[in-house]
Amino acid sequence: MKRTGAWLTVYALEQIGARFTFGIPGVHTTELYDALNNSNRISQVLVTHEGGASFMADAIGRLSDSIGVLTVVPAAGLTHAASGIGEAFLDGVPMLVLSGGPRTDTPHRYQLHQMDTHRFMGGLTKATFRVERHEDVVPTLFKAYEIAVSGEPGPVYVELPVNILLLTDEIGELPAFQPPAAPRVEAATEIARAAELLAAAERPCIFTGWGARDATAELVRIAEWLEAPVATTLQGLSVFPGNHPLHAGFGFGASAVPAAQNAFRDCDCILAIGTRFAEIATGSYGAAVPENLIHIDINPNAIGANYPARVGIAGDAGAALKQLSAALEARGPRRPASSALREQIARDKAAYRESWYRHDAAGIVNPARFFDELRRATPDDGILAVDDGNHTFLTAELMPIHAPKSVILPTDFNCMGYAVPAAIGAKLAFPDRSVQAIVGDGAFMMTCMEILTAASNGLGVIYYVFNDGELAQIAQAQSIPYGRKPCTQLGKLNIEGVALATGAAFLPMNDNAAISGVIAQARAIAGRGQPVIVAVRIDYSKRTAFTLGTVKTNFGRFPLNEKLRFLTRAAVRHVVG
């Protein structure tokens, strides 16, 4: 039979279970989009910018059993999408990046969009492919999918030259798709050693990240057997339920909230699962780790990279934790619940919240009171998309997350502009679940026009825009050591105008008295299928534990003469105003 490469591409995407493609058609992909239009399994989503497409695809890969797929033109489409591809690459999120390509059946040079896309994409993806023959389309896409979802997940790039997509060729029997095998962990000796160390520890603790996102039940089981406090990374906020009495908070070192700092203070053995001990997770490496570190990660290169591990187990978190749980339970009954530990965590959390309540000011929204009401109004399985900025750490410290895979945010690539489009991807994947975004005004300005995509598709996403008129996280980081905040003041943004331009409803939230009513009104509007933008007049004057701790950690590493220079300069600037 004769088939176009575009037909073969759609066939392959249907076989792997792709549900959506994101992008903007161009001259190299018109045949592909026409073929996709014939599919009754895959929905095409037209975006306003390919950067938004990649963040939407990222959300699909983080939250669902499907994979996010980009369908973009080469060169400009890929460069626009690069931020979201890079975020997926560093955060371990599967994605298929498909682009058209210049013709390969002519000798002409300097074709439209002709550049070395593979050299460009090589640093942002796990692998790149160029399809040279029609018969290679399906097996190449099957291979790309396998690479994307296996091991530590990530994006894979496939170039489909326009002549392959557009023209027909004779094709033999199509290959059958074989899903990748379920992960296994062959580490019986290491599992036994880990169980021995944990059982012997007087104050075991658990630190968990995104790699354990499908292992919440096993994590809870082990935490309760050990009676161990649990802290999470930023990306792993939803891995362990925030309303569990052993949940201590985000991070555990000098940049963590008091509950986590105190719960981990005398820790003599840490079980770390699905975390690379990266910079944000450790507060710029300010977390102190005991000698007895058990490190489980699917990427063997991450084990012991920043902190030496006494026991290292390379493999899938869920499979490893099941084996570890069985090994612990074989040693005898679980430890009795520690009322002292649980009550200390609860007291510390309450005291930290009270410190925020005492920061109330007239005519502005207290972050703790906002998140308290948002938590009350949001179902446990409601999805929260969070952007990069000061609001990120406010969310991490003040918004308990109750259900697995219910919060997504950019971490290691740390890309602003993530939340607006990512929330759209989340709502497409789960139309019956509540989807809300927390985004600072600076990040909002980067991708806010993508709300048009939400409106065009009838997606009731709520966007809470923390509006203070500056790049707050960097402004705070500047004000502490420099005494001033250069280049962080934003232009005056008319958020209501953005709502009018994109078809969203607009609601202002100007003070604490408005919080409850505005959240209820926003949820009612979103329930009717219209996106809502809520302009929150947020009070950023109180700094998060993360900001204070990380600045202190970094400052503490400076040589004495540099400390004196910074302190003198800050003092002089404070005196002169």
pLDDT reading at 576 higher than 90: no
pLDDT at 146: 97
- Count of domains forming the chain: 4
Identify the burial level of 448 via C-beta atoms within 10 angstroms of its C-beta, where 0-12 means exposed, 13-18 middle and 19 or more buried. buried
- Say which residue, 288 or 481, is predicted with more confidence: 288
- Domain finish residue from 319, 343, 367: 343
Total Cβ atoms within 10 A of residue 494:
10
Residue 9: per-residue pLDDT:
98
Residue range 504-516: mean pLDDT, rounded: 98
Residue 158 and residue 67 share a domain? yes
Residue 42 lies in a domain: yes
CATH number, residue 501: 3.40.50.970
Give the chain's largest Cα–Cα span. Answer: 81
Same domain, 409 and 525: yes
Of residues 540 and 470, which shows the higher confidence score? 540
Q: Could you tell me if 332 and 366 lie in one domain?
A: no
Q: Are residues 322 and 405 in the same domain?
A: no
pLDDT confidence tier of residue 196, bands split at 50, 70 and 90:
very high
% of the chain surpassing 70 pLDDT: 99
C-alpha distances in Å from residue 280, one per residue of 249, 265, 508: 14, 19, 32
* pLDDT for position 476: 75
Looking at residue 483, what is its pLDDT?
A: 77
Say if residue 213 is in the same domain as residue 130: no
- Binned at pLDDT 50, 70 and 90, residue 563 comes out as confident
283, amino acid identity: G
Q: Which of 116, 140, 170 is the last residue of a domain?
A: 170
- Using CA atoms, how far residue 98 sits from 61, 145, 529, in Å, is 15, 11, 30
Question: Alpha carbon of 398 to those of 67, 116, 312, 395: distances in Å?
Answer: 31, 46, 33, 5
What is the extent of the structural domain holding 572? Answer: 547-576
* 339 and 435 both lie in a single domain: no
Residue 268: count of CB within 10 angstroms of its CB:
14
Question: Which band of pLDDT confidence, cut at 50, 70 and 90, is reported for residue 324?
Answer: very high
The answer to whether residue 453 scores a pLDDT higher than 90 is yes
Q: Is residue 60 part of a domain?
A: yes
pLDDT at 530: 98
In a domain, 179, yes or no: no
Pick from 66-75, 106-115, 329-338: least confident: 106-115
Mean pLDDT for 443-465 is 98
Give tens-digit pLDDT for 102-121: 888 888 888 777 889 999 99
Quote the pLDDT of residue 577: 64
Quote the mean pLDDT of the chain.
95
Instruction: Please indicate whether residue 485 or residue 193 has the higher confidence score (pLDDT).
Output: 193
**pLDDT reading at 99 higher than 90:** yes
In a domain, 263, yes or no: yes
Tell me, what's the pLDDT at 468? 84
* 44 within a domain of the structure (yes/no): yes
Domain boundary among 170, 202, 222: 170
Q: For residue 481, is pLDDT > 80?
A: no
pLDDT tens figures, 124-159: 999 999 999 999 999 999 999 999 999 999 999 999
pLDDT higher than 90, residue 377:
yes
Average pLDDT over residues 48-57: 98
- pLDDT-derived band at 570, boundaries 50, 70, 90: confident
- Work out the percent of the chain whose per-residue pLDDT is above 90: 85
d(CA 284, CA 292): 21
Task: Report yes or no: 284 and 432 within 8 Å, Cβ to Cβ.
Answer: no
Which pLDDT band, with edges at 50, 70 and 90, does 36 fall under? very high
Is 348 part of a structural domain of the chain? no
Q: How many CB atoms lie within 10 A of CB 116?
A: 8
Q: Are residues 144 and 282 in the same domain?
A: no
- The one-letter amino acid code at 261 reads Q
Is 262's pLDDT higher than 70?
A: yes
Residue identified by tokens 């700092």 is 261
Q: Which of 66-70, 166-170, 567-571 has the lowest mean pLDDT?
A: 567-571
Residue 352, in any domain of the structure: no
Q: What is the pLDDT of residue 162?
A: 94
For residue 490, the model assigns a pLDDT of 77
Q: With bands split at pLDDT 50, 70 and 90, how would you rate the model's confidence at 299?
A: very high
Q: Quickly list H helices, 330-450.
A: 339-357, 367-377, 390-398, 419-429, 441-447
Residue 21 and residue 12 in contact, taking contact as beta carbons nearer than 8 Å: no
Closest CA to 160 of 81, 246, 71, 220: 71
Question: Looking at the structure, do residues 433 and 497 belong to the same domain, yes or no?
Answer: yes
Whole-prediction pTM value? 0.95
Across the range 86-109, mean pLDDT stands at 93
Estimate to the nearest angstrom the gap between the alpha carbon of 253 and the chain centroid. Answer: 21
208-223: pLDDT as tens digits: 999 999 999 999 999 9
* Sheet of 230-232, strand order: 247-250, 230-232, 204-208, 269-273, 293-297, 311-314
DSSP state, 186? -
Say if residue 505 is in the same domain as residue 375: yes
Tracing tokens 């507060």 back to the chain, one arrives at 283
Note whether 556 and 527 are same-domain residues.
no
Same structural domain, 453 and 309: no
Residue 133, both tokens: 């023959």
Residue 173's Cβ-count burial label (10 Å; 0-12, 13-18, 19+) is exposed
Q: Is residue 181 part of a domain?
A: no
| Sequential DSSP letters for 122-166 | HTTSSEEEE--SGGGHHHHHHHHHHHHHSSS--EEEEEEEHHHHH
Task: Tell me: do 369 and 468 sit in the same domain.
Answer: yes
Is residue 526 within 8 A of residue 460, CB to CB? The reply is yes
Look at residue 569 in the predicted model and tell me its pLDDT: 81
Residue 66 has a pLDDT of 96
* Residue 309, token pair as written in the block: 């591990």
